Amino acid sequence: MTTLHDTLLDWYDDHRRDLPWRRPEASAWGVLVSELMLQQTPVARVLPVWEAWLERWPTPARLAAESSGEAVRAWGRLGYPRRALRLHAAAVAITERHGGEVPDDHAALLALPGVGDYTAAAVASFAFGQRHVVLDTNVRRVLERALGGRAFPGTSPTRPERDRAAALLPDDPATAATWAVAVMELGALVCTARRPRCEQCPLSGTCRWRSAGFPDAEAPRRVQTYDGTDRQCRGRLLAVLRDSPGSVAADRLDTAWAEPVQRRRALDSLLADGLVVRTERGRYALP
């Protein structure tokens, strides 16, 4: 176990990316913002939005003082804009319940709007140096290959997976926090889903998947269409509202998407999600 830890931690020291939310000066709020933004979104797309967000709202209280619509506007084209509403709701909760400071208690983090098991553990580990099991897609894949001998884990984390990850955590909290991000980094840079660079992997000598001959190496392909979908339609409608300082008339939204039935369906879903509001005058705006 010690050899495994030392090998991967040494690799991380030499290969980790210089990301602003990992720097010593990063605030717990900055870490929380990064974790919400990085869900299903590549680092390269997140970086400029994260930097602009923290410049405008360096504390939860600053964000909580503005409307949730401003959070949606600043979210831009990151995708899955409900995350912006969740961040705004979390900022309000942090301001009201915790005096504007991101709590360092795992249970308190988990109680924040939009914060699930992974995010609570990640913030507790990366912002506060605590000892928690942090299981994202990259971590699960690395552990399944190196220790389980299989190319990919199942759809959702299982109890044996969690127990294995917990058993691997170093006893020292600070080291455990570094271990968590090191495994994640290995999965992001080397032990990738497709075309893993096994020749560059520090765990290649003991990897059970490699020693088994890479069974089931072909990554499951998820075909994700976007053009013509309701999701694209929603994005077009939101773009009109983001680019407008106030409310817009319905016919202005009509120009964003030609097909009326799909446009109506997408608009109704945006209203239901709280991403758009209808004014008393029958116009539409960000919340």
Q: List active site positions.
A: 35
Give bridge partners of residue 277 from the DSSP assignment.
285
Task: Determine the Cα–Cα distance for residues 204 and 161; give it in Å rounded to an integer.
Answer: 21
The set of residues, in sequence order, having a beta carbon less than 8 Å from that of 199 and lying 6+ positions away, is none
Dig out the tokens for 48 from the structure. Answer: 């400029």
SS3 state at 59: coil
Task: Determine the Cα–Cα distance for residues 115 and 36; give it in Å rounded to an integer.
Answer: 8
In the chain, at which residue ranges do the beta strands (DSSP E only) sit? 277-278, 284-285
Task: Determine the Cα–Cα distance for residues 113 and 25; give it in Å rounded to an integer.
Answer: 25
Task: Determine the Cα–Cα distance for residues 18 and 12; give it in Å rounded to an integer.
Answer: 11
The set of residues, in sequence order, having a beta carbon less than 8 Å from that of 192 and lying 6+ positions away, is none
8 Å CB contact between 277 and 286: yes
237-to-84, 136, 231, 252 alpha-carbon distances in Å: 16, 32, 10, 9
Task: Determine the Cα–Cα distance for residues 40 and 199; give it in Å rounded to an integer.
Answer: 27
Task: Determine the Cα–Cα distance for residues 159 and 164; give it in Å rounded to an integer.
Answer: 9
Q: Is 214 exposed, middle or buried (0-12, 13-18, 19+ CB in 10 A)?
A: middle
